[in-house]
Structure formats: C-alpha cells, structure tokens
Structure 1
Amino acid sequence: MRTLSLTSDSAAGVNWTLTAAGDVPGEWSELAKRTFAATVPGEVHTDLLAAEAIPEPFDGANEARLQWIGRTDWVYRLEFDWQPGSEDRHDLVAEGLDTFATVTLNGTELGSTANQHRSYRFDVGAALRPGPNELVITFAAPSIAAEAAEQDLGALPVAYPHPYNAVRKMASSFGWDWGPDLAGAGIWKPIKIESWSSVRLAAVRPLATAEGSTGVLQAEVDLEWSGAEFIDQPVTLAVEVAGQLIEAPVAHRAGHATLRVEVPDADLWWPRGHGDQALYPTAIRLQLAGDVADRWDGRVGFRTITLRTEPDAVGTDFVIMVNDQPVYIRGYNWIPDDAFLTRLNADRYRSAIMDGYDSGANLLRVWGGGIFESQYFYTVCDELGILVWQDFPFACAAYSEDEPLRTEVEAEARQAITRLSAHPSLAIWNGNNENIWGYVDWGWRPQLAGRTWGNGYYRELLPKLVAELDPRTPYSAGSPYSFDDYLHPNDQRHGSMHIWDVWNQVDYTHYADYQPRYASEFGFQGPPAWSTLTSVVHDQPLDPYGPQMLVHQKAGDGNLKLERGLGDHLPHWRTEPEIAIDDWHWLTQLNQARAVRFGIEHFRSLAPVNSGTCVWQLNDNWPVISWAAVDYAGIRKPLWHALKSVYADRLLTVQPRSDDHGDQQPTVIAHNDSGEAWTGTLIITRRSIGVGSAVLAEQTVDFHVGPRAALTIALDTDIVTAGDPAAEFIEVRTETPEPSTEAAEPVEGHAYWYFAEDPALPLTAPTDAYSSSVEASDGGYRVTVTATALVKDLALFPDRLDPAARVDSCLITLRAGQSHTFTVSGAGELDRAALTAVPVLRSVNEIVTGTVTP
C-alpha cells in the first residue's frame, strides 16, 4: 500500500487554503474577500485566529461576536501533485470531516458527508490524474444545517437552543452548561490518498480476553478486494503476539477472516491498584504472494471485564468485574479537553489524564455529548490502568430513529466499536447520557406524540452491534439506568444514578439522603484559578454578576447557586463598600471542594452497597466557572486536592451512625480499597479549637481492615459528647506501619468532625493561629506553615503571582503543634512576602475572624 498524506506540510507542497463561501455579516464582511492559509487537520476558527482575522474566541464576550462563523459556508482547497504507480485502486481517505461536507476532486464530486463521528473513503481512480490535482471540500454552515435537519425530521426535545440532536456532530460544540457555543467546520482529522492492489485490511478487531491463565486473541478481520482482475496469488493472514505466530490462507474474495491465538501463562492486564498493566505488541499482516500487502500494528491486553447487575436485598448492584475481581470505582466524567479539538495533541492528552491518575482515579467516563476520543486517550488509559466507560454520542435529548439519521448512527457505531475494540482499558459501552431518564421524567412524551426518540438505538441497535463486534466488553443502555423496564431509570436502589438536586436545588448535605449503588454523575461548581479566570474576564470591577463573568458561567443561575450553596457552611463574602471578589473566589472554590468531598466520603462509607463514584467533571474545554476539578489552564483547583484525599486507596471518614438508642453519633469508617490488609492504631481526640488545641478526651483503637473491605469503629461517649460544641472538634489520625509492598498508596491518615458549622466556630485569627516562612528550593519555593491553634483549610494560590506557578497541596487542616510545607514550582521570581499573605495564602480562619494573614 502506498500513502500520500494530504495533511499540511509546506516542505511537501501540501498547502491548504480557506475561504468563506456564504454570507459574512457587516463587521466581518472584508473576510469574505480574503483567502487564508489553512492547517489540516484544523478548524475554521483556529485558522482565522492564526491569521489574526478574529479575536481570541474565549476572551471576554467574543463568543457571541463570532457566532457568524457557524452560520457561514467554508471552502478548503488544495492543489497537490500525484504520480501513478503499479496499484490498481486509489482511495481518498478522510478520517474526520466536521461535518456537512461536499468533496470534489478535479471538478468531479466524490460525495457528501454528514457525520463528524465517522470516517469516509472515496474511490478516486476515475478522477485522479498524473501531475497537478485540485481537491475542494466545501462545508455547509453547521448551525444552519442543523436547523434544516430539524425541519426535515421534526423538532424533538433537546436540552439547549440548537437542535444538535438532529445531526451527527459533537453536541457540545453548540454550547453546554460548561462550554461555549462555537460550532464550526473543518478537516479535523488526517486526510490522505491510499493506493493499493488486490486486497486490503478494511477493519481489524483484535479481541483479547483471558481463559484462566491463557491469553486469547481472536483477530477478526474484514477484507476489501479491488475491482481489478484477480491474479492467482496466495493470500494469507498472519497474527503475531507474545512470540506466537499463526498464519492461515484467505479464500479469494472472502469478506471476513478470523484467527485465534492462545498465549499460555499470559500476564493479565489489570486496572491500577489491582495489578500490572501488561500490554503485548501485536502485528496482523495481510500477505500477498509472500509480500505484506497491508498490516495493523498495536498492543493488546488480556483481561475479562463483566458488569454485574444482580438483584440483592437492596435492589440491583452495579459492579465492574475485571478478571473476576470487583473494582471499586473512583472516577471522573471526561469532556472534550478543548472546544477546538484540533488543538489537542499527545502531550495534552497525557497531561490531562494524569490529572485524574494523580488524584487516585481508576476510571474515566467519555461522556456522550462529546466524541469518540482520540487514539492518544485510550493508549494512555491502557498504559496507566485507567478503565474507560465509553458513551455513544447521545446526550440530553430525544433522537429520531428515522433516515437519514439511523444509517449514520449505525455507520459511526460500527467504526467506533471496531476502532476501540483493541483497548484493554475499555470497560463499558454505554448507550446514552440521561435520555432514558429524560423520556420518563422531563415531559418529552407530549412533544414526541408517539415518534421515535432513540430507544431503538439504546435497547436494540447498539447492544446488537456491541455483541457482534466487541463481545468482550459489557453494554449498558444508558446512564442513569436501573436495568429493568419497570424501574425508574434514576432509582438509587438500582444500577447507576445521577444526583443533580444537590447543586441545582438543595444543600450539599443532602448527598447523605442517598445510598446510590453507583453514582455516575454528581458534582458542584466552583470558579477556575484566579489567573485563568482573569485571563478572559475583564469586568471592572470584577463582580460575580458582571457581564463578562456571566459569559464564562454557562449554567442557569450558576453564580446564584454558588452563592446559595454556601448555606450555613461558610460566611458570605463582603459586598459593601464593594464586593470582596477575592473572598468570593476563595469561598466558592472551597465550598465546591467541601461539597464533593462530603458526597464521596458518604458514598464510600456505604461500601459495598455503593460500588463507586464518577465525579462530574475532571476537565474544562475553555476558561469557565464549572464543575471541573482541573481548569482549562491545567491548574488543579482545591476540588482536585480534596478528591486526591478521598480517592486515596485507604480512607478514614467520620460519618453519623445510629447508636444503641437510635441517636445519630459521629462514627469512624475506614474503607480499605487496596489489596493488602490495613492494620494500625487510631488515635482519636476531642480537642479545643483555640490556641494550644488542648486534648479534652482521648481514645486509642487498634484496627484491622481486610483487603477491599471496610470497618466501622464506634467512638467513646466522652469523645462524642462536647462540653462546648462550638469550641471543640474531633481529630482522628492513624499510626500505621509502613506497607510491606507498594500495593497501597500513601494514606491521608486524618479525619475531622466538627460539632458546628464554620461561622459559629471560635477560630483564632491568623496572626495568633500560625506562623509562616519561605525558602527557595530547586525550581521554586517551600512555604512552611506552623500552627499554634486550629487552622482550617490552608490553601496556597501561587498563580496569583505567576500564572505558570503550581503548588503540590491544598486544603490542609492543622492543629496546634503541626506544620505543613507547600512546594511551589514552575514559577519565576516571586515576592516572598506575598506568598504568605492574602490573597495568596488563605484559610477559613481569616474569613471567620475577619482578619488577614500575617
């Protein structure tokens, strides 16, 4: 096979151009007369930005100014040279066109496309010519195309203004409650000409599983034969893995072939924390007369994955089983990591996934309003042992099952299942996000009036395709889903659950009202890092309800919910004589972290009834106030640090439990999600909040928690009985021997219980509560804080001084006599005094006492 790449390369003479072909509004009308250099893969927005023809789309209120781009047709044009060889078939292969494209070569229309989620292959033998060629790809305006499709199909319920459910384009490109409305167009994946003869590999599914200790690779291969007369040459298929080589002849014109390879005593692939991630290089070769005509190279991991959804005394469990072992899920929902997908590369994917890994996550859910992700994504997850829950691209809307949509859905699903079937990290195929729930609860039925809404996809087409193409991976019809037609899809007793009344309507303590079998979506908002926010919001003065601030808050009444969400937990920021915007930023970030931590500690305390959590969300696709743990600039928010604590293998938490009299009392729960027993001593004290943190009562408990188990430890009466509830707290810490292996990750080792909310606590002002010092270190600084009284939730924000600065820890609570050192890296020269003063160094103490740090 001979390949001519048509991706941008000036040295190779591949120079694409871009022009507007439709109406361009007055402010931008001059752009209609210009021809721009285009990058392929790329997008209209990024090409115009590179040419300085438009302002940064994420900045200020530019999102609205640039809506015209999605309502304009665009033309990509390339002149390239091609010379014929001995091959008898020539295909133009477009791996990704976004979305409504007409493809023309040398004046001959090859075809049209209407699906961002699939690739296309056009036979160009009749149109291609020796020497110069011209390839033209015209993209129809996506917003107008979606509206036209809705007119043809009929309007169906949808969560946002644009009818994204009428087309097969990334739904979130039309805007979401965390993302910008910047629907565009472009050649967003590589494009090339493949020249070949006789036969090629049309699709490869290297299905790797395990049968006991034997690794089994079943290579399923689809073949395409050229139209030329067949020459009598033998065709063979060969599969090589782990030193095993199997070859077999292929019958002439056969459309499919299968080879099975067994690997004795194979090392299994495990998710992180359960074992190693054994990956085996694999080669699948199609040989013609002894020469390699086509080949597939990759890696496989031998594993079995099942989804256990069995009735029990509570309802229906939801347990991901890997190699017959249950895995407690500590996960995140994943959205596209940039609103402009072509700005993502291997390094960006690895960095973003490492944000999840470093916090203790073992699963990422690729959410259904985005895309089937880049190969980079799944490769990194394979290597790190991160399980992947893969939604099909259906989210928060009703979807027609009529043509032309149905054919597109099947085509994209077949391609995606085939492409991803090699990855051992792929753990679940999921039919949709919230659409079954929407049909039941969101008032869709009157508008549908009996029309199809996607149920046939989720219950029939998609499970059939998964069973056919990737039988090694389980399927769920939706999220949330209760695995029975006669159960509410979001019933906490059954299957997967989304919890959104917290955040939208009620205080975060209402997480304790739920006992979900598996919480696949829940979360709480907070702003991004100060430097990230102020890089795009320029309101003067800064105000939570300023016009540009609200451009970067997409959730309905989002900043009002941030304010309401403080409840009784934290003081309100000052509003007179002006809004204390620094305090608003700190308090809402802190409250986000506390809310999600509260929920996860409660859910983990319910194990094994609860089998895991999947926080909404890990990442952002632009600078925005959102549910993310890591902002668009890659700065880990306080939420991330809270999650690192509650996603540790071993967790201590204090939860209310009923005593012998039915009264709720603070109780210690130790959850050990490691493969080794957890043995040690708990030192439990009731202490005074003021200077000295005097011990008022003490309890010592030796404990032993088995692997993948939990233990409940009752507290003594004098521990839980406070003399002055507002002025006292409970501290629980471990004295634990070092683990004998590296199976267990570092333990947080602390838990706290307060008898009153922060505004009622007699916290000590920072000047008397702690001292601080700064010293230079290799590549940064070390900021040490030593407490003389209780200090709650110390946090350091070095990005306030340098946007490139990062800190290793956050939300540190100290009692008298304890110290903590923050390590700052990535920054240039910083003001040492500023490192230990508001607004860089923060705690709850200065908020409650109305004072500032020394």
Structure 2
Amino acid sequence: MPANTPCLMTQVRRGRFAKWLRWVGDNVGDCCTGVDNGTNSEGTTMRLLLDGNDWLLAPLLPHEFWWRQAWKEEWSPAGCPPWGEWIRACVPGDVIADTLDAGLIPHPYIDLNSLACEWLSERDWVYRKHFTAPDEWRGKHVRLRFDGVDYACEVYLNERLLGRHEGTFTPFEFDVSEHLRFEKPNCLTVLVEHKPPVDVVQGQIGWTSRARVWKSRFAYDWDWCTRLVPLGIWQSVALLATEGVWSEDVWVRPRVQGNVAQVEVSARLRSVPSALDGWNLQWRVEDPDGNLVVQRETPVQPGDTAPSEQVVTLEIPQPRLWYPNGMGEQPLYRLRLYLVRGERCSDEREVTFGIRTVRAVPNEGAPPDALPYTLEVNGRRVFVKGWNWTPHEQMTGRVRPERYERLLTLAKHAHCNLLRVWGGGLLEREQFYALCDRLGIMVWQEFPHSSSGIQNAPPEDAEYLQYIEAQARQMIPLRRNHTSLVIWCGGNELMDDRWVPLTDAHPALAKLKSLVQELDPDRIWLPTSASGPVEGASVELAGTGKMHDVHGPWVYLGAEEHYRFYNTIDPLYHSEFGVEGAANPQIFERFISPEYRFPPDATNRVWLHHGSWWIHREKLEALFGRIEDLETFIRASQWMQAEGLRYAIEANRRRKWRCSGVSPWQFNEPFPNTACTNVVDYLGQPKPAYWWARRAYAPMHISLQYERLTWQPGEKWQAEIWVHNSTTQAFHALWSVCLVALDGREVARLGGAVEVAPEGVVHAGHVECSLPQEEGVWVALVCLNDGRGGLLSCNEYLFSTAQPPMQPLLRAPRTTLRVWHRHQQAGIRNAGEAVALFVRFMPQEGQWLLCEDDYFCLMPGETRMVNVAGKGTVAIEAWNSDLHHIHL
C-alpha cells in the first residue's frame, strides 16, 4: 500500500463548497499551506511533517468513541450518523472548515448559517492519518509532537494509547520509538473531544470566576463575532528523530553593555538514560546579513537532574539595535545550535532574535501610585501608536500565512508600533510574532483571561492556580525569544465587584507575575488592562489623577459630546476605545443575501446576527437625516467612524508624555460583521477609518482641536492648531487653514509659522472666522509645509451650519475626476468646480491593494499622485463623482 493511502476507508466526501472557497480565495483561507507553527527555536536534523490534507475525519457523539473502539485500525464510520463516512481533513485545521470543505454544512459566515453549525462543537471528532516511517530511522529515538490541539484529545498510534492532553495553547509530545512500524504504514488516530461546556469557558456575558480552562473565549459569542466554537488539530504535527539526545528549549537573552551585546544562551537538553556523554554543543551567531560573528563549541555537562541546562555567553561587538516601527531598523540575528558527537548531529535549533533594551518609565506628571506606562526602547521614549488585535479567523485552524502578512503589513503601513493581543483570543501562532519582529511591531500579550459583564475576576482557588501555572509554564517559553514581545499582561478588564481593576494582589495575577519574573524576567509585566483606580475613561474624573490605563468609550458620542469628552479626559494610557462603522460593500456582497442587506436596524435579524451592538441607525440619521438605501448608510456610517476615531487619537496624542500612547479597539475581525469597531474587515480590506487613523499616527502631523461639528449660520467658528513630531529632528514649518464650501467657494484662509521640538507636540495657533449666513457643510483643509513648497502633513475636517448637520454631503454638487496610472502611481485630478469628497480606491473582489493614501478630499483644480501597490483593476470614485478605473 502506498505510504499515504488510507486503509479500510469508505467513500471520502469532497463537496460543492470547495468551489465557494476557491471563489473567496485568499480571504477565507485554504487548507494545508505549510504554515510553520513551531516556536522560533524549533528545528531538528530529522523531521517528518505530518501536516497535509490527507487526514480523515469523522464525528461521533460524546463517549461513542470508546464504545465503538474507534482507535482500532479496522474501524470506519460506516453506518455512524450523521454521515456514515470519512471526510477529508486538513492539519493544521479545524472541524468547521473541514465539514465546510466536504459540503456538509452551509457556509457559517453567510446570513444566519452559523446557527445551523453550532452542533459541530458538541461532537467528538476522530482524526486519522496513515504514514510510513523512514527506514533509516530504525534504532533512532523518535518523538511525536503536536504543536497545538484545541482543546482536549487522546492520541493513539497503531491502536496503542499514547496519552491524553488538554490545552489549546500548549504543545505536547510522546516517545514513539518502540511503537513505530517500518514494515507497513503506521495508523495515527486522534480523538478530539467536544468543546468544554460554557460552565468552564464563559462567553462575553457571564462570570469570569467560572472560566476555568484556557480556551479562546471569543468563539463562545462576542459582540464582534458569532457563537462558533472551533475544535481540531489547529497547529502542526511532526515526527522528530534524534540519536537519543535533543534540545527541548533554547532561550536567547541579549543585553547591551556599551558597544557590546552580551548574549546569554540557555539550552535545555533531554536525553534517554546515559545518552549525554560525549556530546558537544556548537553555538553559531550570524548577523542580519548572514555573516558569522561568533562561534563556540562546548562539551555537554550532564546535570544531576533532567532536563540538563547548558548556558553560554556569546559576545557580539558593535551590535545593530532593533527599534520599533518608525524609530529605526529591525535587524535580526540568527543563532544556530548543533548537538554533535564526531560527525554525527543529533539535533539542531535555530533562533532569530533582535538586540534591544526595553523598559517602562513613569509618565510625565503621573500620580505617585501609577504604574509606569511609557515604553523606552534603547534609551528613547516611545509614544505608542497601537491597535488591539483579535483573532482574524473564527475557524482558527484555517489560517493562511498570506493573511498574517497582509494584516501586519497594513498595521506597519498605518505607523503602528504595538499590537495588544487581547486576552479573550489566542496565544497567536509563531508566524505572527516572527512577522512582528521583522516589521517592528511591539507585542503586548495577554494571558487568556477576560471580563464577563456580570463578574470579572478569575478564580483564585488552589486547583485553578495549579492549572494556570502548568499552562503558563509552557506558554511563556514558546514566545520569549521574540524581540517584538515587550509586555506580558494578566488579562483583559479583570476587576473586582466594584469594577475596580485588579492588582497583583489577586492570587491568579500574582501567580502569573511570578512565572513571568521566573521565565521571562526581561519583559514588562502589567496585571490587567485597564489598570489603576478606575476602569473607564470619564469626563467627571478629569484632573483627579485617577485615569491611569483606561478603556472606553467604543462608540461615536455625538456632534458635540464626542469632542467635549476627548478634549477633557486625561488618561496616562488609553488602551481601548473605538468608534463603530459599517462594513465595506464587499462584505455585504459576499456574506449577506440581498433580501437582508437593508434596513440596518433591529427589525433585520441578519444585521442583528452580524453586529447587533454596532448598528445605531438612529445616531447616524441624527447626523445625516433619513437614510433609505445601503450605499448611503455605508458611506455615512464609515465617515462617522473615521471622524470619531481620528479625533480620539489626535486628542490623546496632544497630551503626549502625560499620555504615553493609545490602542484603539479594534484593528481586525474574525467574522464578517455588517457593522463593528474594526478598521480592517474580515477580507483584509481597510475601512475609511483605517486611513484617517493612519494620518493621525503619521510622524509629522497637523491636527485641529475643536468643540463641536455643528455651528449656526454667521457664528464665529474657532479651533486650535496642533503640530505633532515623532522624529528626532526639530523643524520649522508653516501651517495654513483654508475653509471651503462644498461648491468650491473659499470662505477664509489663515496661516502661521511654528517651531517643533524633536519628538514633541506644540500648540501652533488659534484660528477663527465668521461662517457664511447660510446652511451648509464647510471643509477645513489644514496643511503643514516646510516653507519651500514641500507638504509635510494635510488633514480635512468638516463642520456644518445645517440641520441635520451632515445631510448636505449626500446632495453635494457633482464634480469631475481625471484619473491615470503610471509606474505604480495613480494620478487623480479634480477637474470640476466642487470639492471632491472622500476619493477612494476600491480593489476588485479578492484583490489586495496597498495605497500611500486613501479617503481624501480634493479641492477644485487639485492633483494628487498616490503610490499604489497591487495588481488588477482598481475603481476610483468620490462621493460626488463618476466611477473610474485604472489597471495595475
């Protein structure tokens, strides 16, 4: 029998939904794409990867596996409901995606279909794979390693029970040296048990004290996704062969001392009895260009206990330091470790690492009881331009490398320098952290704790503390070699019954803090987020010193209140806040049937299913008047999100160093919502809020501070000019404000000069003028230039003297665009007399595009050249222009 041919197999289902997946393409994710799911210190001389789409899968009722003796090789699901046959499965993967591929469920992201798929997580699932062991492995020591199974499983090899494991985020392995067959294919069977009940894994609404296992809680239902709980072998499976001695873990700890980096490397070795004698460790470090900078060979020193710890300090002269995005480069060194005896190599490891020093220092003017929230990297303070990161796929096993690359590239492009990996989600895959290392995006990693609405403190009994210690002892070493990882946090919104954030005095957080100090002491520790005396941002608490790291709000507060709020609050760090906005049109085209696309309110059950918390039609119509079609709703809602989020970021940035940074909620989403607080949609396409937040994070930026959007005809309009500088260079610049009517008439032009300190923020001036005695919307074009014609920053703000205030945007005078494309640049000229409102690039279905700028206004006669990267046909239009196309 060929090596990968299933034996005693009934018909294997391949389904009609494979076509649907091809249609969705990169955005949904295909199976078995060779994702590297190990740690960044993984490696071996002899490795047989068992990943692939040649696994078999069948569901059983809980406990039926043992009754049917399904571990036996001759067992098949013939006659077993619901399907009576094997289906093809992919590893890494999950059972939702596999049953979708087989055509046995409707796509769970379309309309209400997820309701018909919830039963999948109530079943046990039998995975099976046949493989042939390499003949040259006879006599070797062989381990079977699982990088991640969600959640609980039993593993059988050739009908022999190897063991049981529980824990989504913890790898495990078995010694199979005596159980492998070489004369015929081996039969690997994995029973993945049904999901832990809601009693021990709470959804968004519940009791944190009852959440007793560490499995991703978001999938049990959250405001930005549905209830669809993944199960399965969600990370890689491999056989590892050695000479009986291997490296279990390698830990690299670089420290900068003057012009030298002292790199302490610790290797934890395992072996069969008496196998360590005579082995040496070869240590080699290559610089970012691949040049060998240091090498050493040391004999293995057997210890009195297993595992054996081997430690060496390597010296790197003139190290190239790693900096966050926007502050410098991200050079990465490479450690290669070989376990050798003579000409034989039993094991090898490879670790990629950067060299940097990071610490947290007190905020300027912070009260004495506050934690330090300002990050300092290599001696330079960092204003955090962050985002909150959620899992980007609800079928967590079905993730393609291209999606990580796409999303994290978008984060870097938006000047992001930190992602907070939220506590109700994942300990992300290895690839996530490796990309963050490369892109300069720092990571704030939370342990799997989160608030629950009713009660928000984790358990504190001895059994639970023992459980989280066992989990964290495995999780921390998996990620501690990553330069991008700067913070471990105890969890999201952990609070007592008075809604006061917990401290390290809570037993669970004290336990986790002690483990971080033991296993990764070079990282910053935070007990929870929010932290300090209060959880929520509040106007009433401004000036009291009680807003340390705070959360909220997550909505647009209104044409006056939104600005009063953000002009008043004074947090030391704002680690969660957001504004809701409708999805991009492609989300509706792919996932919402035409009959459910309108109206966007509580009468529409599909809108309720895909984002009930975030619809808020009445709020939008207070700004724009009655809305009668989806296109108008999307445009209006996305403008509101962009306006509200930009202002919140800019307001916090104006308090730089008193406020050490911001992390809006949220960057991405795992499920296609009709409305949500994300700025990049499920398909990887930015919403307008992404682009306005990107501008607000720009290294050189000009912003406008104002009290409200709404004014009276003839009233004196006034605002404050601020200039922000994230560079190390001081500069002199000229600023200007031009107030323009929608029809292109200039109302006022004001200007001045400003001197900006390195890494500073300055109030550049006050502007005021009388508005015309008419109702309308007025565009304030705010620009910063270097005095020699070079544009440093530009922003557009809208103000109204109409009622409803933004309704004139929907009937703005038409204008004419002229577009062209040359050498990865798109040229756009406003050839009409009216302002071109919100010019936007719209890629085709399944196309990923990266633009230098998007969602901007063009004044009459203005031309803008925009760098564009991508392929295919791209549509370009403004709210008040015809549609045009360019072909990349």
Please report the TM-score for the alignment, with normalisation by the length of structure 1.
0.84
* Residues 829 and 669 (structure 1), Cα distance of their counterparts in 2 relative to 1, 3 Å cut: closer
Contact between 1:619 and 1:628, CA under 8 Å: does it hold in 2? yes
Conservation of the 8 A alpha-carbon contact between 1:213 and 1:266: yes
Displacement after TM superposition at 1:683 (Å) = 2.6
1:19 aligned onto 2:58: yes
> 1:143-222 alignment to 2 at 5 Å?
145-147=196-198, 149=200, 159=205, 165-222=211-268
Amino acid at match of 2:667: L
Structure 1 position 550, deviation (Å): 2.3
1:508 pairs with 529, 545, 562, which one?
562
> Is the 1:114–1:167 Cα contact (8 Å) retained in structure 2?
no
C-alpha distance in 1, partners of 2:553/2:806?
Answer: 30
Of 353, 360, 369, the match for 2:415: 360
1:316-331 superposed matches below 5 A = 316=370, 318-331=373-386
How far apart are 1:209 and its partner, in Å? 2.8
Find out whether 1:71 has 2:122 as its counterpart: yes
User: Residue in 2 aligned with 1:553?
Assistant: 610
Partner of 2:484: 425
AA matched with 1:204: V
- The offset of 1:301, in angstroms, is 0.9
Relative distance call for 1:679 and 1:464 in structure 2 (3 A) is: same
Task: Summarize deviations over 1:707-766 as a string: whole Å, max 9, x none.
Answer: 1001112326xx3454649666654322315799xxxxx833345473747844795886
> What is the aligned counterpart of 1:44 among 72, 92, 95?
95
Q: Deviations over 1:354-379 (max 9, x none)?
A: 11111111111111111111121111
Q: CA deviation at 1:600?
A: 0.8
1:747–1:555: structure 2 CA closer, same or farther, 3 Å change rule? farther
| 2:683 counterpart SS class | coil
The answer to whether the aligner puts 1:244 opposite 2:282 as a matched pair is no
Q: CA deviation at 1:148?
A: 6.4
Per the TM alignment, residue 694 of structure 1 is displaced from its structure 2 partner at its CA by 3.0
Matched residue, 2:365: 312
1:520 aligned residue: 575
Deviates more, 1:107-116 or 1:769-778: 769-778
Rounded to whole Å, the distance in 1 between the matches of 2:276 and 2:311 is 23
Please report how far the alpha carbon of residue 180 of structure 1 lies from its aligned counterpart in structure 2 after TM superposition: 2.3
Cα distance in 2 for residues equivalent to 1:196 and 1:295: 10
Change (3 A) 1:341 1:692: closer
Same amino acid, percent of matched pairs: 23
Give 3-state SS (helix, strand or coil) of 1:566's partner.
Answer: helix
- Per the alignment, residue 812 of structure 1 pairs with 856
Match among 165, 169, 173 for residue 117 of structure 1: 169
In structure 2, do the counterparts of structure 1 residues 655 and 45 end up closer, same or farther at CA, with 3 Å as the change threshold?
same
Residue aligning to 1:465 = 515
Would you say 1:434 and 2:493 are equivalent positions? yes
State the shift of 1:171 in Å: 1.5
User: Offset of 1:563 from its aligned partner?
Assistant: 2.2
Q: C-alpha separation between the residues in 1 aligned to 2:774 and 2:464?
A: 62
In 2, are the aligned partners of 1:24 and 1:31 still within 8 Å (CA)? no
CA–CA distance in 2 between the matches of 1:130 and 1:675?
64
Aligned: 1:794 with 2:838: yes
Relative to structure 1, the CA distance from residue 679 to residue 295 in structure 2 (aligned partners, 3 Å threshold; closer, same or farther) is same
SS of residue in 2 equivalent to 1:45: helix
1:381 is aligned to: 436
Contact 1:596 1:639 in 2 (8 A): yes
Query: What does 1:307-706 correspond to in 2, within 5 Å?
Result: 307-309=360-362, 312=365, 316=370, 318-397=373-452, 398-402=457-461, 405-436=464-495, 439-441=497-499, 455-458=506-509, 460-482=510-532, 487-490=533-536, 493-500=546-553, 502=555, 507-509=561-563, 510-540=565-595, 542-543=597-598, 544-545=600-601, 547=604, 549-550=606-607, 552-556=609-613, 558-559=614-615, 562-566=616-620, 570-574=623-627, 579-624=628-673, 625-656=675-706, 666-685=719-738, 687=739, 689=741, 691-696=743-748, 698-706=749-757
Q: Which residue of structure 2 aligns with residue 80 of structure 1?
A: 131
Verify the 8 A CA contact 2:92 2:236 in the aligned structure 1.
yes
CA contact (8 A) 2:96 2:230 kept: yes
Q: 1:765 and 1:159 mapped to 2: Cα distance?
A: 39
Partner SS, residue 298 of structure 1 = strand
Matches of 2:49 and 2:875, distance apart in 1: 50
Q: Report what 2:541 is aligned to.
A: none
SS state at 1:38 partner = strand
Compute the TM-score of the two structures, normalised by the length of structure 2.
0.81
Q: Residues 827 and 863 of structure 2 are in contact (CA less than 8 Å); yes or no, is this contact kept in structure 1?
A: no
Aligned-pair CA distance for 1:112: 1.3
Distance (whole Å) between structure 2 residues aligned to residue 805 and residue 390 of structure 1? 28
Deviation larger for 608-617 or 412-421: 412-421
The 8 Å contact of residues 246 and 259 in structure 1, kept in 2 or not, is answered as no
Quick one: structure 1 residues 537 and 755, their matched pair in 2 at CA, closer, same or farther if it must change by over 3 Å?
closer
Seen in structure 2, the aligned counterparts of structure 1 residues 823 and 488 have a Cα distance that, compared at 3 Å, is: closer
Contact 1:330 1:647 in 2 (8 A): yes
Q: CA deviation at 1:46?
A: 1.4
What is the alpha-carbon distance in structure 2 between the residues aligned to residue 761 and residue 551 of structure 1? 26
Residue 90 of structure 1 aligns with an amino acid whose one-letter code is V
Moved more, 340-349 or 246-255: 246-255
Residue equivalent to 1:850: none
Residue in 1 that maps onto 2:713: none
Q: Which residue matches 1:846?
A: none
Work out the CA distance in 2 between the residues paired with 1:840 and 1:622: 32
Q: Counterpart in 1 of 2:799? A: 754
Counterpart CA distance in 2 for 1:414 and 1:24 is 31
Amino acid at match of 1:610: C
Which deviates the most, 399-408 or 133-142?
399-408
Q: Cα deviation per residue 1:805-824 (whole Å; 9 max; x = unaligned)?
A: 85844332344443456788
Q: Is the 8 A contact 1:726 1:762 kept in 2?
A: no
Q: Is contact 2:753–2:764 with CA below 8 Å preserved after alignment?
A: no
Amino acid across the alignment from 2:217: A
Query: Any conservation in 2 of the 1:429–1:475 contact (CA below 8 Å)?
Result: yes
Q: 2:247 touches 2:269 (CA, 8 Å); kept in 1?
A: yes
Structure 1, unmatched stretches of 5+, are: 151-155, 446-451, 741-745, 843-854
Structure 2, unaligned stretches of length 5 or more? 1-43, 65-78, 288-292, 538-544, 709-715
2 CA distance for matches of 1:141 and 1:688? 61
Structure with more helix by fraction: 1
The answer to whether the 8 Å contact 1:91/1:123 transfers is: yes
- 2:520 alignment partner AA: D
Does the aligned pair in 2 maintain the 1:764–1:790 contact within 8 Å? no
- The offset of 1:126, in angstroms, is 4.3
- Distance in 1 of aligned mates of 2:340 and 2:498: 53
The 10-residue stretch of structure 1 (269-278 or 487-496) with the greater mean CA deviation from structure 2: 487-496
- Which residue number corresponds to residue 153 of structure 1? none
Which residue identity does 2:349 align to in structure 1?
Answer: W
Moved more, 252-261 or 125-134: 125-134
Deviations 1:147-189 (CA, angstroms, capped at 9, x unpaired): 4657xxxxx8963599982322122222221122211321111
